[in-house]
Amino acid sequence: MKRIVVFASGSGSNAENIIKFFNDTQTAKVTHVLCNNERAKVFERCERLNIEASLIDKDVFSKEDTVLQFLQQEADYIILAGFLWKIPEKIVTAFPKKIINIHPALLPKYGGKGMYGMHIHKAVKENNEVETGITIHFVNENYDEGAIIFQKKTALSEEDTPETIAEKIHLLEQRYFPRVIESVILDTNE
């Protein structure tokens, strides 16, 4: 059974969905959640789900090897579920094609530093897009530029607001993210 460490920064709805999904499989288990925001709701979710969660410091994360060493001992896969920091190159190098991120837009559109959450949904609305969606991709050394694993689209109408776009994206994330993670794990371990 493979071990997953999830990185999160916010409410943790995707982290919780992944934890629950893998609790019912023999493929993998979420063993730990790492978070960069001491006020994030993901800590409450982890406590309720009996999953260890730890706060990480930016300097320790980016300049020291502590997190890398932890991951090398505790993780086969790293899943970014709303994690807002760039992953240091030494971690990317140590886990090739083993770090998976979900992005709330159809990359390469609306990717890059600062493009997350409502920033994306507002930009999608302002540009009168007729569709948007999710992109699940491997993480490389650049924001949102890793190889795309999966994309799913949803149609938009003129009546959509950034808030309704966010709701549509959340439904796609909840439905597809855990299943795509599982398929990657199964494909790489055949």
Catalytic: 119? no
Neighbour count for residue 33 (Cβ, 10 Å):
27
Residues 6+ apart with CB under 8 A from 92: 99, 139, 140, 141
- Residue 146, token pair as written in the block: 């890793």
E-only strand ranges, 46-176: 52-55, 77-80, 99-103, 131-138, 148-155
* Catalytic hit among 103, 119, 137, 170: 103
Please count the residues of the chain: 190
Query: What is the C-alpha separation between 18 and 157, in angstroms, rounded?
Result: 30
Judged on CB neighbours under 10 Å (0-12, 13-18, 19+), 22 is: buried
Neighbour count for residue 6 (Cβ, 10 Å):
30
3-state secondary structure of 155: strand
Which residues are known catalytic residues? 103
